[in-house]
Amino acid sequence: MARQRDISIDRESILRAAFALLDDVGLDGITMRALAARLSVQAPALYWHVRDKADLTSMMALDIYARSRAGLSDCRDARAWLERLGKGLAQVLRQHRDSARLLAIASPLARPEEDAAREMAEPLCALGFGASDALEAQAAVLSLTLGWAIYHENAAMAAYLSGMFDLEASYAKGLRMLVDGLVAEAVA
């Protein structure tokens, strides 16, 4: 067996390699052994940073959600914030093979729930939402977007639906209608 080179790895290098692996072989092809090989390290070096595949998919999901929130701080009203959240997630999901499936199966990394909820609700609370409404609105927008992304990842389903209606226009319309309803209810 050839000796692998010693390199230092960190969270960012692990994520870059994991997303490259996802794009190359899909979600089912991601294994800790394949990731270690991609990083040119022995598996024990990888396990120092990532417990298992479930931990890895959770890290990847967090990264996807973080990238989808880029630019949200520029939004000055709740409607624009929620629409940009949905569109941002859709854009990130289109960048990686099987990413919607990954989000659908990823478990949250251990964090105190109260802190995570407060952090997630804060931006919309600053725009007039109550904390509970802010969390529910984000969950609704993310769920809609994830559902449409699943259709895109399933080429046969995407082709079938596209034969009946414009899939992209339908998502945009659904997102707009959902956001309009969420905002109207939350700030009424």
Is 59 within the bounds of a domain? no
How does residue 8 score in pLDDT terms, banded at 50, 70 and 90?
Answer: confident
Regarding whether 79 and 117 lie in a shared domain, the answer is yes
Count of structural domains within the chain: 2
d(CA 131, CA 121) in angstroms, rounded, equals 5
Question: Average pLDDT in the 137-144 region?
Answer: 97
Exposure string over 49-64, b if 16+ CB within 10 A, otherwise e: bbeeeebbbbbbbebb
Question: Average pLDDT in the 35-52 region?
Answer: 91
Query: Any idea which of 106-120, 121-135, 149-163, 168-182 has the lowest mean pLDDT?
Result: 106-120
Per-residue CA distances from 135 to 22, 44, 61, 118, 119 (Å): 29, 38, 18, 9, 10
Question: Average pLDDT in the 79-108 region?
Answer: 96
d(CA 136, CA 47) in angstroms, rounded, equals 35
Torsional sign, CA 92, 95, 96, 99: positive
Tokens of 155: 């080429």
The domain spanning residue 159 has which CATH number? 1.10.357.10
User: For residues 89 and 65, is the Cβ–Cβ distance under 8 A?
Assistant: yes
Query: Any idea which of 4-8, 114-118, 121-125, 165-169 has the lowest mean pLDDT?
Result: 4-8
Is 6 within the bounds of a domain? no
Identity of the highest mean pLDDT range in 41-45, 48-52, 129-133: 129-133
Is 120 within the bounds of a domain? yes
Is 24 within the bounds of a domain? yes
| Per-residue pLDDT tens over the stretch 44-65 | 889 889 999 999 999 999 999 9
What is the 3 state secondary structure string of 131-183? HHHHHHHHHHHHHHHHHHHHHHHCHHHHHHHHCCCCHHHHHHHHHHHHHHHHH
Question: Average pLDDT in the 1-16 region?
Answer: 73
Tokens of 176: 């707009």
Assess whether pLDDT exceeds 70 at residue 177: yes
Regarding whether 90 and 16 lie in a shared domain, the answer is no
Regarding whether 42 and 117 lie in a shared domain, the answer is no
Regarding whether 179 and 95 lie in a shared domain, the answer is yes
Segments forming the whole domain that contains residue 17: 11-50
- In this prediction, residue 113 carries a pLDDT of 65
